Amino acid sequence: MKFIQIMEFEGAPEDAENALQSYIEKAAGRSYARKATICIDRDTGKLLQLIEFDSWEEAQKNNELEITNDDHEETQESFGEITFKNLDVFGEYEV
């Protein structure tokens, strides 16, 4: 079952984009993530980063990578508290 993790935090979208690009470069294809999307909440101004995985199990493997742990620490230093939401995808539809 597809899995999406949502990270919610405060900061500049350009800084979030730079941090994500840095992670992608450092991971050099070793990440289990399939897609990342950065969004800005129009109501709160907070940033939301949606990370898509093939499954919850793949997300857990990704969490065990050294690069992911290092990046998490760097992200917290740069953006402060991060709230996580962990979602199993029940269905996807083209409308």
pLDDT at site 71: 82
Give the CA dihedral 67, 33, 28, 15, nearest 10 degrees: -70
Which pLDDT tens digit goes with each residue over 27-80? 998 999 999 999 999 999 999 999 999 999 999 999 999 888 888 778 888 899
pLDDT of residue 87 exceeding 90, the answer is: yes
Q: Go through the domains of the chain in sequence order and give each one's CATH number.
A: 3-88 (3.30.70.100)
The overall pTM is greater than 0.85: yes
pLDDT of residue 93 exceeding 90, the answer is: yes
Spatial distance between the Cα atoms of 62 and 1, rounded to a whole number of angstroms? 16
